Amino acid sequence: MALSKAKIIVERSSGQEIIEVMFNPTEYELDTANEFTDDEVPGLQTPLAQYTGGKETTLTMDLFFDSYELGEDVRKFTSKIANILDVDSDLHAPPPCRFVWGSLDFKGVLNSVKQRFTMFHESGVPVRATLSVSFTSTQSMKEQYQEIPRQSADRTKQRTVKLGDHLWMLAADEYDDPGAWRHIAEANGIDNPRELTPGRKLTIPRLE
């Protein structure tokens, strides 16, 4: 069974536009990363890597176009994709789109298009081109919140400070995150995290 053609579904303010590629890509690349910051923890010589969030996922690929046998300017076909970069006057931004091919359904915006023309008619009109395209994922705030794993404590707890305890140790024990020690400090009015008195009862707040 022949593989279906990849397509770009553009959600313009004037309506939906579907652009089929001329040839399916031979490969594509998905790039995802996380962001971390160095978190200074009292009592430790080196900072801890504190997770601050995920970056957008990017989808990149090359798309091939050949209009030689059609006898047409290949830009007639490539411009449909390049024009997705234009700002939609009603949206005040380039329109969101989806790249759909087989099991891949990538929702985002077209971030960049590099057009490389490699064959020309004797008149100088380009008839073959390769487009290097890059899409960046987008999600609404609601969608992002729905994907956040709920790993917080179920309820507020109390812990009694023992000799040798540090706030970052308690945070690691309760939240699996040493960098969350500030939440404990704030909940207990602790200005100097180095001054923990053994026997003191600490409130361990639930992380929202």
Mean pLDDT across the stretch 182-191?
89
Per-residue pLDDT tens digits for 95-147? 999 999 999 999 999 999 999 999 999 999 999 999 999 999 986 544 555 55
Structure pTM? 0.64
Amino acid symbol at 81: I
Which domains are assigned to the chain?
7-147 (2.40.30), 157-204 (3.10.350.10)
Write the pLDDT tens digit of every residue in 20-29: 999 999 999 9
Taking phi over 0 as left and psi of -120 to 50 as alpha, with beta for the rest, 179 belongs to alpha
Distance separating alpha carbons of residues 56 and 138, to the nearest angstrom: 7
Nearest to 43 by CA among 168, 207, 141: 168
Query: 100: Cβ–Cβ under 8 A, 6 or more apart, which residues?
Result: 6, 7, 8, 9, 106
Beta-strand ranges (E) seen in the chain are 7-12, 15-20, 28-31, 34-39, 48-54, 58-66, 97-101, 104-120, 126-137, 157-160, 201-204
